[in-house]
Structure 1
């Protein structure tokens, strides 16, 4: 589909942008699972680019029905500790 959404007999795939996509799959009965794939901006990106990614992710998460099983997968470029040179 032209809006970045694709539907098949198994689920609905939605490309949000080049870093986020979601897939809603039917489970048993009237239950669904939503899978979100996220690829965060690199650590060296500007603060505004990083903020935009997390704003977009937050907006996408807000669209997931509360009754859905939610799975979020991705590369969040996270860091543990205080060593900013790593």
Structure 2
């Protein structure tokens, strides 16, 4: 963000405005809005990483996903012929 903030500022200005100073004060509004959106989406992504929360009473989503993936891969790869008999 700091690099964008510095790199998107005007260095040489062709404008001749009747001001008291030689400094061209321009606020990079688009860069600031872009930073706010990026930070907002990062916070939303952090919340979506574990939607159930981190309390002791909540489910561990990573464990459930890993277990279900391992089970489904073992069914497809190893145990596809070992189905129990239909009764």
TM-score interval (norm. to shorter): under 0.3
Q: Which has the larger radius of gyration?
A: 2
Q: Which has the higher helix share?
A: 2
Larger RCO (alpha carbons 8 Å, 6+ apart): 1
The two structures have a TM-score, normalised by structure 2, of 0.20
Q: Which has the higher strand share?
A: 1
